Amino acid sequence: MSGRFDLLVRGGACVLPSGTAVTDVGVRDGRVAAIGRLDGATADADIDAAGLHVLPGVIDSQVHMREPGLEHKEDFATGTTAAVLGGVTAVMEMPNTRPNTTTAAALADKARRAKGRARCDMAFFVGASGDNLEQLGDLERLPSCAGVKVFMGSSTGNLLVEDDVTLAQVLANGNRRVAVHCEDEPRLRARFALVEGGAPVAMHAEWRDAETARLATERLLRLARGVGRRVHVLHVTTAEEMGLLPEFRDLATVEVTPQHLTLAAPEAYETLGTRAQMNPPIRDARHRDALWRAVDEGLVDVIGSDHAPHTLAEKAESYPNSPSGMPGVQTLLPVMLNHVNAGRLSLRRLVDLTSAGPARVYGVAGKGRIARGYDADFSLVDLKAERTLSDRWSASRCGWTPFDGMRITGWPVATVVRGRVVMRDGEVLGDPAGAAIRFQDTLR
Q: Which of 242, 338, 343, 346 is nearest to 290 (CA)?
A: 242
What is the rounded average pLDDT of the residues 92-99? 97
CA distance 115 to 122: 10
Asked whether residue 279 carries a pLDDT value surpassing 90, the answer given is yes
**Kind and range of the H or E element at 19?**
strand 19-28
Asked whether residue 444 carries a pLDDT value surpassing 60, the answer given is no
Segments making up each domain of the chain, as ranges = 57-362
Assigned superfamily of 57-362: Metal-dependent hydrolases (3.20.20.140)
Predicted TM-score of the model (pTM): 0.97
- pLDDT tens for residues 249-278? 999 999 999 999 999 999 999 999 999 999
CA distance 52 to 414: 10
pLDDT value for 242: 98
Q: Which of 58-72, 107-121, 144-158, 358-372 has the lowest mean pLDDT?
A: 144-158
CA distance 66 to 94: 9
DSSP secondary structure, 34-86, as one string: EEE--TT-EEEEEEE-TT-EEEEPEEEEEE---TTT-TTT--HHHHHHHHHHT
Cβ contact 4:13 at 8 Å: no
DSSP secondary structure, 406-419, as one string: -EEEEEEEEEEETT
- Counting Cα atoms < 13 Å in the Cβ hemisphere of 10 gives 15
pLDDT value for 156: 57
Helix 76-85 to helix 104-114 angle (10° resolution) is: 60
- pLDDT tens for residues 185-244? 999 999 999 999 999 999 999 999 999 999 999 999 999 999 999 999 999 999 999 999
- pLDDT tens for residues 431-440? 999 999 999 9
Q: Which of 306, 352, 377, 382 is catalytic?
A: 306
pLDDT value for 213: 98
pLDDT value for 338: 98
Strands 31-36 and 88-93: unpaired
Asked whether residue 38 carries a pLDDT value surpassing 70, the answer given is yes
Of residues 442 and 310, the one with the higher pLDDT is 310
CA distance 96 to 87: 25
Asked whether residue 2 carries a pLDDT value surpassing 80, the answer given is no
Asked whether residue 1 carries a pLDDT value surpassing 60, the answer given is no
What value does the mean pLDDT of the chain take? 97
CA distance 226 to 220: 10
pLDDT value for 442: 84
Whether 306 is a known active-site residue: answer yes
Percent of the chain, pLDDT > 90? 96
What is the rounded average pLDDT of the residues 79-94? 98
pLDDT value for 83: 99
Question: Which residues 6+ apart lie within 8 Å of 321 measured at CB?
Answer: none
- DSSP E strand boundaries for 82-229: 88-93, 121-127, 145-151, 178-181
